[in-house]
């Protein structure tokens, strides 16, 4: 069967469109590292969180509450050490690792916060973290629910797989959508146009 000019044009443009979409989407292809970075920034750690550390990071809001509620210094120090060890472990995987410390800071409204900051951070920076970025404290209230779910799936090893599958589905849909739409539109226009053309016996 010999293809007509319109079919050849549609095939050529469809292939060109699919290649363009694939080339653009390759830049956004998820990797293990990009998912780890997404988890870290979603949970306001500003550093990537590996799958191995995700379960420990998920415990940080609970430990922060226990740290603030502890009645004795020994218990508070033990809980604080767990928090700092987890935060330092996350930082060790980054390109510029830092050491962190745990502070009990009272905000102007009288609320005590557990603030994790770099060991070389001045007091003014720690206080500013309470004032300006309060959503990062304790339970990460800005993204708390989403952060918890993301950490859970990341620690189970499913976060990367889910995003990879979502990317593949989106790329396939993007590559095929315009060719299919133009094909259906062209067939519909051709069908309508043939309805207006006079039949051979009418023309005679």
| Per-residue model confidence (pLDDT) at position 111 | 74
Q: Please give the C-alpha separations between residue 74 and each of 64, 79, 101, 172, in angstroms, as whole numbers.
A: 15, 9, 17, 57
Q: Residues 18, 179: contact at Cβ < 8 Å?
A: yes
Alpha helices in 156-199 (DSSP H): 159-196
pLDDT band at residue 3, thresholds of 50, 70 and 90?
A: confident
Q: Quick one: average pLDDT of 162-166?
A: 92
pLDDT, tens digit, 9 for 90 and up, residues 70-117: 888 888 889 989 989 998 999 988 888 888 888 777 777 777 777 787
pLDDT of residue 95: 80
pTM for this model (two decimals): 0.68
Residue 179, exposed/middle/buried by CB under 10 A (0-12, 13-18, 19+)?
A: middle
Residues in contact with 117: Cβ distance below 8 Å, sequence separation at least 6, in sequence order: 100, 101, 103, 125, 126, 129
- Residue 119's alpha-carbon distances to 84, 87, 88, 113, 186, in angstroms, are 11, 12, 11, 17, 66
Least confident range of 19-28, 136-145, 190-199:
136-145
């Amino acid at each position: 069967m010999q293809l007509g000019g319109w079919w050849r044009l549609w095939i050529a443009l469809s292939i060109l469109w699919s290649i363009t979409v694939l080339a653009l989407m390759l830049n956004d292809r998820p990797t293990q590292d990009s998912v780890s970075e997404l988890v870290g920034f979603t949970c306001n750690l500003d550093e990537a969180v590996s799958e191995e550390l995700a379960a420990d990071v998920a415990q940080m809001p609970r430990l922060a509450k226990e740290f603030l509620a502890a009645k004795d210094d020994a218990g508070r120090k033990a809980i604080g050490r767990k928090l700092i060890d987890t935060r330092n472990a996350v930082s060790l995987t980054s390109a510029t690792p830092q050491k962190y410390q745990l502070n009990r800071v009272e905000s102007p409204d009288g609320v005590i916060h557990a603030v994790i900051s770099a060991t070389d951070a001045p007091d003014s920076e720690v206080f500013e973290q309470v004032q300006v970025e309060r959503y990062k404290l304790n339970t990460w209230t800005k993204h708390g629910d989403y952060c918890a779910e993301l950490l859970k799936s990341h620690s189970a090893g499913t976060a990367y797989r889910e995003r990879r599958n979502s990317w593949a589905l989106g790329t396939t849909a993007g590559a095929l959508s315009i060719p299919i739409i133009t094909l259906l539109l062209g067939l519909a226009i051709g069908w309508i146009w043939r309805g207006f053309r006079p039949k051979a016996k009418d023309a005679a």
